[in-house]
Chain A
């Protein structure tokens, strides 16, 4: 035992001194490459949609607006986010837990190829216009069965990767008895627990409901139940990326600005409730769905807003860290310390704007989870504006910020001042594009413009013609965004293959000196998982049993495009 500990701490030290091993780096680099290629393709499709809705581009006859919308959603929501999250956390596990175990590496590769295989299966019917069901694939819209087989493989890949992460963590803990899991791996554990929990729901939906139905083995599908299962997954998926971004805010950003991170105990206390209470939040996506009684919706608003609490803790923690660090550097005055922040450093600038964007994004989210307010904006462009703020800014801009140190760290290269400058320019263009696009989407949504609709003038109806200037602004935003996408993808591949060789640090901030010791019970993941299951079963048993027992006959499949 003693020797195992010694060997391990030797490996830890070697890891710190020489950087990531080549094999571990290859895993993360592969994930990040896929993520950024998906960004390029997804961004291109986004531009096509933006220009179409602006009324300046008519799609060719072989391309369908909904087909492009489906691909845009899948590439950015499923591929970019998931592949980035996994690549980032596997690098984090490797760095903080003394290198990946050989079997974990093998699991990571099996997971990778399962996901890629699944994704190819998904893409083929989408390209053939056999699966223009958008990324939510709500029944009774039915895609080609191969689309759903692909989804199954993607989920299996995620389970494999989660198993790999848990194996790595369990092994580390066995060799480091009584120690706290390093904070980034703590976040990673939470994220992989949520990934398993969330995908379990969509797996049930796809395997037991949709596949038998699209293959014609059963006549009808319970639409309400499938939507409920989907959103238990969909909402959690969104929060997984958010939690990934939050991990960088807590752990990495303080180091980048030269400070200490926020209280370790409280940081872990943000992760734990986010894991326990997350999945049940999915209900607020169904807040105007029929078939769920108002009492249940009312109770679920509490569950949704409960997740807001750790988010508010995060907002406080971040600005506390910023202020403390800036004052140490000589910042003065009520707000004068703001000038002491490293605004010229893309590794800080991009995530900072991401955090700032979360303020309106979070407020918009509260609007949407409030029944009466949501009735005004439900299924309008407002919602599209909302998730372009949350995902397109809060999450993705943090990911961009991460890429400027993570990619050189993995490829053993450095971020040059020129590339940093490019990053700053990229951040500014992206911010401008997203702000123009999201604001006009929110406004035009309030006026009633529906989402998921190809360009139309509604027979030149005067009221709806008033939407067009805003949609033109969406087109302008989308154009700026594609420019930013190209710069970002260029930066990533330059840092991966062409930047000057050198050593880049994996920035992990230390806690404040003299901080009280974090209690050990925060490490009891078994208990948190059981609590999570308990909360989920309490939250879902009422509506799900009701939906099954009082189910309508069920719907046959429809191809609406």
Chain B
């Protein structure tokens, strides 16, 4: 219950208009801070749903793959320039952002993550690494403004943010490939 409450508090704090406005005023903070924090809020809240409705998760997310698929679709959707723009201009899309990221990405991520094997987890990270490199390239090389609401410099910064994140994930993947924890634990 305490995890659910901390997740809920995080979600509410992120929804407070001045907080949301501050975070959405910078493109990279919008995508790489506000959105992941919404997922984290959902990740915390998931505990309660998993305890209350175990049969639901058992039935629809037996091996974790459906949940991860849903998570990936929601994440990719919010990485598109168009959706970011609409979140800022269309109120219902903004509402959808605050619902979809915690409940359709954060909750299934938590339920699926522990059901995945180590290979499955690393494949997911690899998928996101490749995607981040692709999106990074898209945002860096584009000369035209992809979002009405953000300047080209914001785009370039976001692009490099994708690249640095991808580098961090590559370092993690290399680490998990070359270091065998069973030698130490």
Nearest opposing residue in chain B for A538, CB measure: B32
B78 at the binding interface (Cβ < 8 Å): no
Bound: A219/B34 CA distance, A: 41
| Contact-residue bracket for chain A | 20 to 34
Question: Which A residues are in CB contact (< 8 Å) with B13?
Answer: none
Q: Which of A500-552 contact B (CB under 8 A)?
A: 520, 523, 526-527, 529-530, 533-534, 537-538, 541-542, 545-546, 549-550
| B184 in contact with A546 (CB, 8 Å) | no
A295-B22, A295-B26, A546-B153 known; A537 and B183 CB under 8 Å? no
| A537 in contact with B175 (CB, 8 Å) | no
Tell me how many residues of B have a C-beta within 8 Å of chain A: 24
Q: Which of A277-298 contact B (CB under 8 A)?
A: 295
Q: Which of B136-185 contact A (CB under 8 A)?
A: 153, 156-157, 160-161, 164-165, 167-168, 171-172, 175-176, 179, 183-185
Question: Which A residues are in CB contact (< 8 Å) with B32?
Answer: 538
Nearest opposing residue in chain B for A530, CB measure: B172
Question: Which B residues are in CB contact (< 8 Å) with A546?
Answer: 153, 157
Question: How far, in Å, is B152 (CB) from chain A's closest CB?
Answer: 9
| A545 in contact with B168 (CB, 8 Å) | no
A545-B157, A546-B153 known; A537 and B168 CB under 8 Å? yes
Nearest opposing residue in chain B for A550, CB measure: B153
Question: Which A residues are in CB contact (< 8 Å) with B123?
Answer: none
| A542 in contact with B175 (CB, 8 Å) | no
| B171 in contact with A541 (CB, 8 Å) | no
Bound: A177/B184 CA distance, A: 5
Question: Which B residues are in CB contact (< 8 Å) with A545?
Answer: 153, 156-157, 160
Binding site of B, secondary structure by majority: helix, strand, loop or mixed? helix
A178 at the binding interface (Cβ < 8 Å): yes
| B161 in contact with A549 (CB, 8 Å) | no
Q: Which of A381-396 contact B (CB under 8 A)?
A: none
Contacting residue for A174 out of B160, B165, B184, CB 8 A: B184
Question: Which B residues are in CB contact (< 8 Å) with A529?
Answer: 171, 175
A235 at the binding interface (Cβ < 8 Å): no
| A537 in contact with B157 (CB, 8 Å) | no
A265 at the binding interface (Cβ < 8 Å): no
Question: Which A residues are in CB contact (< 8 Å) with B167?
Answer: 533, 537
A173 at the binding interface (Cβ < 8 Å): yes
Bound: A173/B182 CA distance, A: 11
| A526 in contact with B157 (CB, 8 Å) | no
Bound: A526/B173 CA distance, A: 11
| B161 in contact with A530 (CB, 8 Å) | no
Question: Which A residues are in CB contact (< 8 Å) with B29?
Answer: 299, 542
B25 at the binding interface (Cβ < 8 Å): yes
Question: Which A residues are in CB contact (< 8 Å) with B22?
Answer: 295
| B165 in contact with A537 (CB, 8 Å) | yes
B105 at the binding interface (Cβ < 8 Å): no
Question: Which B residues are in CB contact (< 8 Å) with A530?
Answer: 168, 171-172, 175
B33 at the binding interface (Cβ < 8 Å): yes
Question: How far, in Å, is A168 (CB) from chain B's closest CB?
Answer: 14
Question: Which A residues are in CB contact (< 8 Å) with B14?
Answer: none
Nearest opposing residue in chain A for B166, CB measure: A537
Question: How far, in Å, is B23 (CB) from chain A's closest CB?
Answer: 10
Bound: A299/B165 CA distance, A: 19
Nearest opposing residue in chain B for A296, CB measure: B26
Bound: A21/B12 CA distance, A: 59
Question: How far, in Å, is A125 (CB) from chain B's closest CB?
Answer: 35
Contacting residue for B28 out of A527, A542, A549, CB 8 A: A542
| A173 in contact with B184 (CB, 8 Å) | yes
Q: Which has the most chain A C-beta neighbours within 10 Å: B25, B153, B164, B184? A: B184
| A541 in contact with B168 (CB, 8 Å) | no
Question: How far, in Å, is A544 (CB) from chain B's closest CB?
Answer: 8
Q: Which of B20-38 contact A (CB under 8 A)?
A: 22, 25-26, 28-29, 32-33
Contacting residue for A526 out of B153, B156, B168, B175, CB 8 A: B175
Q: Which of A545-561 contact B (CB under 8 A)?
A: 545-546, 549-550
Question: How far, in Å, is B155 (CB) from chain A's closest CB?
Answer: 10
| A537 in contact with B161 (CB, 8 Å) | yes
| A178 in contact with B165 (CB, 8 Å) | no
Bound: A299/B55 CA distance, A: 43
Question: How far, in Å, is A180 (CB) from chain B's closest CB?
Answer: 11
A546-B157, A549-B153, A550-B153 known; A534 and B184 CB under 8 Å? no
Question: Which B residues are in CB contact (< 8 Å) with A550?
Answer: 153
Question: How far, in Å, is B175 (CB) from chain A's closest CB?
Answer: 5
Fill in one digit per residue for A250-283: 1 if any B CB lies within 8 Å of its CB, else 0. 0000000000000000000000000000000000
Bound: A295/B25 CA distance, A: 9
Question: How far, in Å, is A542 (CB) from chain B's closest CB?
Answer: 5
| A549 in contact with B156 (CB, 8 Å) | yes
Fill in one digit per residue for A295-314: 1 if any B CB lies within 8 Å of its CB, else 0. 10001000000000000000
Question: Which A residues are in CB contact (< 8 Å) with B165?
Answer: 534, 537-538
Fill in one digit per residue for A11-36: 1 if any B CB lies within 8 Å of its CB, else 0. 00000000000000000000000000
Contacting residue for B33 out of A526, A533, A537, A538, CB 8 A: A538
Bound: A546/B154 CA distance, A: 9
| B157 in contact with A542 (CB, 8 Å) | yes
| B185 in contact with A178 (CB, 8 Å) | yes
Could you list some 14 contacts between A and B, CB below 8 A? A174-B183, A295-B25, A526-B175, A530-B168, A533-B167, A537-B164, A537-B168, A538-B33, A538-B161, A541-B28, A542-B26, A545-B153, A545-B157, A546-B157
18 more A-B residue pairs beyond the given contacts A541-B164, A542-B29, A549-B153, with a C-beta to C-beta distance below 8 A: A177-B185, A178-B185, A526-B175, A529-B175, A530-B168, A533-B168, A534-B168, A537-B168, A538-B33, A538-B164, A541-B28, A541-B157, A545-B156, A545-B157, A546-B153, A546-B157, A549-B156, A550-B153
Binding site for A on B (CB under 8 A): 22, 25-26, 28-29, 32-33, 153, 156-157, 160-161, 164-165, 167-168, 171-172, 175-176, 179, 183-185
The 10 closest A-B CB pairs, nearest first, are: A537-B164, A545-B157, A173-B184, A530-B172, A534-B168, A526-B175, A541-B161, A545-B160, A533-B168, A541-B160
